[in-house]
Amino acid sequence: MTEKIRDVVMIGAGPSALTAAIYTTREDIDTVLYEKAVIGGLAAVTDMIDNYPGFPEGVEGMKLASELEKQALRFGAQMEFGEVSEIRDEGDHKVVTVDGEPVLAKTVLIATGSDWKKIGVPGEKEFFGRGVHYCATCDGAFYRDKKLVVIGGGNSAYQEAIFLTRYASHIDVLVRSTVKASDILQHDMQKHIDSGKVTVHIGAVTEEIVATEGKVTGVRATINGSEQTIETDGVFVFVGLKPNTEFLQGSAIQLDERGLITTNDRLETSMPGVFASGDVRSGATMQIASAVGEGAAAALAIREYLEEHERAHVA
């Protein structure tokens, strides 16, 4: 192959990869990022981030993502949209398949993050984007003065339900087992429960998303052993995250039992010269601050790897 060999190809453009790109490009390491969805990842579609250091009043997720992107671009990072389907080790370089085309790189950083889990009930897939949603900040405004159902009982479910109270007339929150949201979020939610804006149903198993004439009209659920249908105009699902590693299934890159990428203490995967950072890495804390830190650490490890291999070629 005669194509240009990039110093590093980064897969994903969330906070971890963007931070890594800031570090690599500042040291004149040729860097290109490939993102298949939204620059900034899940952080970009989070309404307000309250626990990122340096923002005492919190920061909008889209703003944080935008500022990280601008900083990476200022130092010379190249941003491209494309979906990666394969990484192959060709010895002195890697071949990354992007939209069916080969891209050559000396090193690769996988920072693909995670995506929202699905609940797998009838109606969920059929009405995705037409009554079933996974991003309150993206789609909440469509439901002004409407009834909504939020499915989930963790931090994301409570945080997004609280955000949706600015639009919806009433929200029913369906929690399968117990509420796992933080004490702070539960305290914030209690104000909306007390006002009658939100009703939380514990022990609620979602069975089906019901639609009439192509429009979502309710959620059929078993609540404490009793089946009932809750009327709603839309459904927001927040039941956790799954790693974006489907493209690595069956590859030489080792995954753990949850599908997360295993790395050594240098954040290097089982394929030499391929690194991983952020929410996609086994052992990650699933926090933006730590994803950013791992991005910086991965960039330094990539620099060391490139320097070691440059010396080996000279010798």
Residue 218: which CATH number? 3.50.50.60
Q: What is the pLDDT of residue 173?
A: 98
Same domain, 253 and 112: yes
Same domain, 287 and 151: no
Distance CA 232, CA 36 (A): 32
- Residue 135, both tokens: 């991003």
Helices first, then strands: H and E counts in the chain: 7, 19
Distance CA 169, CA 190 (A): 16
- For 143-175, the pLDDT digits (tens) are 999 999 999 999 999 999 999 999 999 999 999
- For 232-286, the pLDDT digits (tens) are 999 999 998 899 999 999 899 999 999 999 999 999 999 999 999 999 999 998 8
Q: To 10 degrees, what angle do helices 288-314 and 15-26 make?
A: 40
Element (H, E) at 307: helix 288-314
Q: What is the pLDDT of residue 315?
A: 60
Any residues with CB less than 8 A from the CB of 155 and at least 6 apart, and which?
Answer: 180, 181, 182, 185
pTM of the model: 0.79
* Segments of the chain scoring below 70 in pLDDT: 1-2, 315
Which residue, of 186, 203, 237, is where some domain finishes? 237
Q: Over the Cα atoms of the chain, what is R_g?
A: 22
What pairs with residue 219 in β-bridges?
Answer: 209, 230
Element (H, E) at 220: strand 215-223
- Within a domain: 126: no
Distance CA 313, CA 25 (A): 23
For the chain, percent of residues with pLDDT exceeding 90:
87
The answer to whether 136 and 122 have CB atoms below 8 angstroms apart is no
Upper half-sphere CA count for residue 119 (Cβ side, 13 Å): 28
Q: How many angstroms separate the most distant Cα atoms in the chain?
A: 74
Distance CA 55, CA 65 (A): 14
Element (H, E) at 16: helix 15-26
Distance CA 249, CA 20 (A): 25
SS3 call for 141: helix
- Within a domain: 21: yes
Q: How many domains does the chain have?
A: 2
Q: To 10 degrees, what angle do helices 183-194 and 155-164 make?
A: 30
The answer to whether 5 and 104 have CB atoms below 8 angstroms apart is yes
Same domain, 214 and 253: no
Same domain, 12 and 103: yes
Range of the domain at 187: 132-237
Q: What is the pLDDT of residue 42?
A: 87
Same domain, 18 and 109: yes
